A and B are shown apart, each in its own frame.
Chain A
Amino acid sequence: EVQLVESGGGLVQPGRSLKLSCVASGFTFNNYWMTWIRQAPGKGLEWVASITNTGGSTYYPDSVKGRFTISRDNAKSTLYLQMNSLRSEDTATYYCTRVHNSGYYFDYWGQGVMVTVSS
């Protein structure tokens, strides 16, 4: 059974940093691209970052580029999201998702982890 379990969320002050983790199980992690998607309270879904299966390439929207870094440790089947210079608008539930390896769609989602940026 595929499982994606996020951790590392919490309350953080504006301008500070936070690192999220997502431990994957039930599949061969290093065969799949992975992605972080977030959802602000009461709002829709927003793509945050994607990484190829080897970690060789990463992709970000302008809203987080230069502040967030996606990475992975294939030996530990773990995905990360380093978030720096956090802003109030980064407050959201962050979902770890798997990208189907031949389809370009998000076929599995974690339960999500809440990040609140507030003083």
Chain B
Amino acid sequence: DIVMTQGALPNPVPSGESASITCQSSKSLLYSDGKTYLNWYLQRPGQSPQLLIYWMSTRASGVSDRFSGSGSGTDFTLKISRVEAEDVGVYYCQQFLEFPLTFGSGTKLEIK
């Protein structure tokens, strides 16, 4: 199984500052079609998760351009620029390269 390991944030993050969340996979998520099958989701308090980023760096429809994804085949970063109160929640990375599909354990973002 592909293990997804997420880093922690130095909470709370001051409003207006940037925050970077790391995620590492135990196997390269780069597929032969050139796409990297790493997705990011945000779960706000009391809500269902929502898609933020897919294919490592493509923003989902309606997602603020303050969110950006980057990385290599095994090391990934979700950067949130100018954090706002609405960014509070838990962020999950997830691989869709192969079954069983796996998620990271989540990274909590708090705002000061």
- Is B48 in contact with A109, judged by CB distance below 8 angstroms? yes
Q: Which of B26-62 contact A (CB under 8 A)?
A: 37, 39, 41, 43, 48-51, 54-55, 60
Q: Which of B64-112 contact A (CB under 8 A)?
A: 90, 92, 94, 96, 99-106
- Inter-chain residue pair count (beta carbon < 8 A): 54
- For residue B55, give the distance in angstroms from its CB to the closest CB of chain A: 7
In the complex with contacts A104-B37, A105-B96, A107-B60, A47-B49 CB distance below 8 A: no
- Is A62 in contact with B100, judged by CB distance below 8 angstroms? yes
Q: Which of A89-110 contact B (CB under 8 A)?
A: 95, 100, 103-107, 109-110
For chain B, the bracket of interface size reads 20 to 34
- Is B51 in contact with A59, judged by CB distance below 8 angstroms? no
- Is B94 in contact with A45, judged by CB distance below 8 angstroms? yes
Q: How far is the CA of A104 from the CA of B98 in the complex (A)?
A: 10
In the complex with contacts A50-B101, A59-B99, A107-B51 CB distance below 8 A: yes
- For residue B40, give the distance in angstroms from its CB to the closest CB of chain A: 9
Q: A95: which of B48, B90, B105 is its contact (CB, 8 Å)?
A: B48
For chain A, the bracket of interface size reads 20 to 34
Q: How far is the CA of A62 from the CA of B51 in the complex (A)?
A: 26
Interface check A66, CB cutoff 8 A: no
Q: How far is the CA of A112 from the CA of B105 in the complex (A)?
A: 19
B92 and chain A: residue at smallest CB distance = A45
Interface check A56, CB cutoff 8 A: no
Residues of B within 8 A of A73 (CB): none
Interface check A41, CB cutoff 8 A: no
Residue pairs across A and B with Cβ atoms less than 8 A apart, 21 shown, are A35-B101, A44-B90, A44-B104, A45-B43, A45-B49, A45-B106, A47-B102, A47-B103, A50-B99, A50-B101, A59-B99, A61-B99, A61-B100, A95-B49, A104-B37, A105-B94, A106-B41, A106-B49, A106-B94, A109-B48, A112-B48
> Could you list which residues of chain B lie within 8 angstroms of chain A, going by C-beta atoms?
37, 39, 41, 43, 48-51, 54-55, 60, 90, 92, 94, 96, 99-106
What 20 additional pairs, Cβ within 8 angstroms, besides A44-B103, A47-B100, A47-B101? A45-B41, A45-B94, A45-B103, A45-B106, A47-B103, A50-B101, A59-B99, A59-B100, A61-B99, A61-B100, A62-B100, A95-B48, A100-B54, A103-B54, A104-B37, A105-B39, A105-B55, A106-B39, A106-B41, A109-B49
